[in-house]
Amino acid sequence: MEIMKLRPHHVLGYIGHEAQPELYSLPDNKYIKDFRESKRNSAEEAAKQQGLSEEDIRKTGEFAYNFHSDKLILHWRDSIKRIHDNPDTKFKYVKGFDSICKECHQKEGCHDENHWAYKVVQQADLDAIKLMPELKHGKVYTGHDLKKLAKKKGWLKE
Protein backbone atom coordinates (compact mmCIF):
# COMPACT_ATOMS: atom_id res chain seq x y z
CA MET A 1 0.00 0.00 0.00
CA GLU A 2 1.22 3.51 -0.86
CA ILE A 3 2.54 5.43 2.14
CA MET A 4 0.00 7.91 3.50
CA LYS A 5 0.75 11.61 3.05
CA LEU A 6 -0.43 14.13 5.62
CA ARG A 7 -0.28 17.92 5.57
CA PRO A 8 0.30 19.96 8.77
CA HIS A 9 -3.27 20.74 9.82
CA HIS A 10 -4.30 17.12 9.28
CA VAL A 11 -1.41 15.97 11.48
CA LEU A 12 -2.63 18.38 14.15
CA GLY A 13 -6.13 16.94 13.73
CA TYR A 14 -4.76 13.45 14.33
CA ILE A 15 -3.12 14.61 17.58
CA GLY A 16 -6.43 16.21 18.60
CA HIS A 17 -8.14 12.87 18.12
CA GLU A 18 -5.50 11.11 20.17
CA ALA A 19 -6.39 13.47 23.02
CA GLN A 20 -10.04 12.41 22.59
CA PRO A 21 -9.82 8.79 21.40
CA GLU A 22 -13.56 8.28 21.92
CA LEU A 23 -13.98 10.15 18.62
CA TYR A 24 -12.74 7.08 16.74
CA SER A 25 -15.66 4.98 17.92
CA LEU A 26 -18.50 7.48 17.67
CA PRO A 27 -21.31 6.29 15.38
CA ASP A 28 -20.75 7.68 11.88
CA ASN A 29 -23.80 10.00 11.99
CA LYS A 30 -22.79 11.48 15.32
CA TYR A 31 -19.19 11.95 14.21
CA ILE A 32 -20.28 13.69 11.01
CA LYS A 33 -22.70 15.96 12.87
CA ASP A 34 -20.11 16.93 15.52
CA PHE A 35 -17.48 17.54 12.84
CA ARG A 36 -19.86 19.84 10.96
CA GLU A 37 -20.89 21.67 14.15
CA SER A 38 -17.27 22.37 15.04
CA LYS A 39 -16.61 23.77 11.55
CA ARG A 40 -19.70 25.96 11.85
CA ASN A 41 -18.66 27.25 15.29
CA SER A 42 -15.13 28.11 14.12
CA ALA A 43 -16.43 29.86 10.99
CA GLU A 44 -19.00 31.86 12.97
CA GLU A 45 -16.34 32.89 15.46
CA ALA A 46 -14.04 34.06 12.65
CA ALA A 47 -16.93 35.95 11.01
CA LYS A 48 -17.72 37.67 14.32
CA GLN A 49 -14.08 38.72 14.66
CA GLN A 50 -14.33 40.28 11.20
CA GLY A 51 -17.35 42.29 12.32
CA LEU A 52 -19.80 40.73 9.84
CA SER A 53 -23.56 41.20 10.22
CA GLU A 54 -25.67 38.60 12.06
CA GLU A 55 -27.03 37.38 8.74
CA ASP A 56 -23.58 37.01 7.20
CA ILE A 57 -22.29 35.24 10.31
CA ARG A 58 -25.16 32.76 9.99
CA LYS A 59 -24.53 32.24 6.27
CA THR A 60 -20.79 31.78 6.82
CA GLY A 61 -21.49 29.18 9.51
CA GLU A 62 -23.95 27.34 7.29
CA PHE A 63 -21.47 27.29 4.43
CA ALA A 64 -18.78 25.82 6.68
CA TYR A 65 -21.26 23.27 8.05
CA ASN A 66 -21.88 21.94 4.54
CA PHE A 67 -18.38 22.39 3.10
CA HIS A 68 -17.20 18.77 3.48
CA SER A 69 -19.07 15.76 2.19
CA ASP A 70 -20.07 12.94 4.55
CA LYS A 71 -17.82 10.66 2.51
CA LEU A 72 -14.79 12.91 3.05
CA ILE A 73 -15.45 13.29 6.79
CA LEU A 74 -15.50 9.51 7.23
CA HIS A 75 -12.48 9.07 4.93
CA TRP A 76 -10.65 11.56 7.15
CA ARG A 77 -11.47 9.63 10.30
CA ASP A 78 -10.67 6.23 8.70
CA SER A 79 -7.28 7.54 7.57
CA ILE A 80 -6.15 8.78 10.96
CA LYS A 81 -7.70 5.75 12.68
CA ARG A 82 -5.22 3.63 10.73
CA ILE A 83 -2.43 5.42 12.61
CA HIS A 84 -4.36 5.21 15.89
CA ASP A 85 -4.91 1.44 15.50
CA ASN A 86 -1.29 0.84 14.53
CA PRO A 87 1.08 3.61 15.63
CA ASP A 88 3.84 1.94 13.61
CA THR A 89 1.99 3.18 10.51
CA LYS A 90 4.25 5.47 8.52
CA PHE A 91 3.20 8.65 6.80
CA LYS A 92 5.04 11.32 4.87
CA TYR A 93 4.72 14.87 6.20
CA VAL A 94 3.96 16.99 3.14
CA LYS A 95 3.19 20.54 2.10
CA GLY A 96 -0.25 20.95 0.57
CA PHE A 97 -2.15 18.18 -1.19
CA ASP A 98 -2.24 14.95 0.83
CA SER A 99 -3.99 11.57 1.02
CA ILE A 100 -7.08 13.10 2.65
CA CYS A 101 -7.37 15.85 0.01
CA LYS A 102 -7.11 13.23 -2.74
CA GLU A 103 -10.63 12.01 -1.91
CA CYS A 104 -12.15 15.47 -1.36
CA HIS A 105 -14.61 17.09 -3.76
CA GLN A 106 -13.24 20.52 -2.70
CA LYS A 107 -9.67 19.71 -3.77
CA GLU A 108 -9.65 21.94 -6.84
CA GLY A 109 -10.59 25.08 -4.90
CA CYS A 110 -8.25 24.29 -2.02
CA HIS A 111 -5.30 23.94 -4.38
CA ASP A 112 -6.00 26.88 -6.68
CA GLU A 113 -4.08 29.96 -5.55
CA ASN A 114 -6.86 32.18 -6.91
CA HIS A 115 -9.63 30.47 -4.94
CA TRP A 116 -10.67 31.78 -1.49
CA ALA A 117 -10.38 28.27 0.03
CA TYR A 118 -6.67 28.16 -0.82
CA LYS A 119 -5.89 30.93 1.68
CA VAL A 120 -7.98 29.28 4.39
CA VAL A 121 -6.22 25.91 4.16
CA GLN A 122 -2.78 27.50 3.76
CA GLN A 123 -3.42 29.48 6.95
CA ALA A 124 -4.54 26.32 8.76
CA ASP A 125 -1.26 24.66 7.71
CA LEU A 126 0.82 27.67 8.76
CA ASP A 127 -0.88 27.69 12.17
CA ALA A 128 -0.12 23.97 12.56
CA ILE A 129 3.51 24.46 11.48
CA LYS A 130 3.93 27.15 14.14
CA LEU A 131 2.69 24.71 16.76
CA MET A 132 4.89 21.83 15.52
CA PRO A 133 8.09 23.36 14.12
CA GLU A 134 9.90 20.11 15.01
CA LEU A 135 8.32 18.30 12.04
CA LYS A 136 10.13 18.63 8.73
CA HIS A 137 8.39 18.48 5.37
CA GLY A 138 9.33 15.48 3.24
CA LYS A 139 10.24 13.33 6.24
CA VAL A 140 8.53 10.06 7.13
CA TYR A 141 7.08 9.74 10.64
CA THR A 142 4.97 7.23 12.55
CA GLY A 143 2.14 7.56 15.05
CA HIS A 144 4.71 6.89 17.80
CA ASP A 145 6.71 9.94 16.68
CA LEU A 146 3.62 12.15 16.86
CA LYS A 147 2.56 10.86 20.26
CA LYS A 148 6.07 11.42 21.60
CA LEU A 149 6.01 14.98 20.30
CA ALA A 150 2.51 15.65 21.67
CA LYS A 151 3.50 14.30 25.11
CA LYS A 152 6.62 16.46 25.15
CA LYS A 153 4.42 19.48 24.50
CA GLY A 154 1.90 18.46 27.18
CA TRP A 155 -0.91 17.92 24.64
CA LEU A 156 -1.18 14.25 25.57
CA LYS A 157 -0.81 12.63 28.95
CA GLU A 158 2.26 10.41 29.55
Least distance to ligand SF4 from the beta carbon of 121, Å? 4
By beta-carbon proximity to ligand SF4, the closer residue of 107 and 148 is 107
CB count, 10 Å around CB of 86? 10
SS3 7: coil
By beta-carbon proximity to ligand SF4, the closer residue of 32 and 101 is 101
By beta-carbon proximity to ligand SF4, the closer residue of 106 and 142 is 106
Least distance to ligand SF4 from the beta carbon of 157, Å? 29
H-helix or E-strand spanning residue 142: strand 140-142
Region of 135 on the Ramachandran plot (φ > 0 left; ψ -120 to 50 alpha; else beta): beta
By beta-carbon proximity to ligand SF4, the closer residue of 104 and 135 is 104
Report the alpha-carbon angle 4-68-93, nearest 5. Answer: 25
Burial group, residue 105, by CB count within 10 angstroms (0-12, 13-18, 19+): exposed
Least distance to ligand SF4 from the beta carbon of 74, Å? 12
Which residues contact ligand SF4 by CB under 6 A?
100-101, 104, 106-107, 110, 121
Least distance to ligand SF4 from the beta carbon of 70, Å? 13
What single letter denotes the amino acid at residue 77?
R
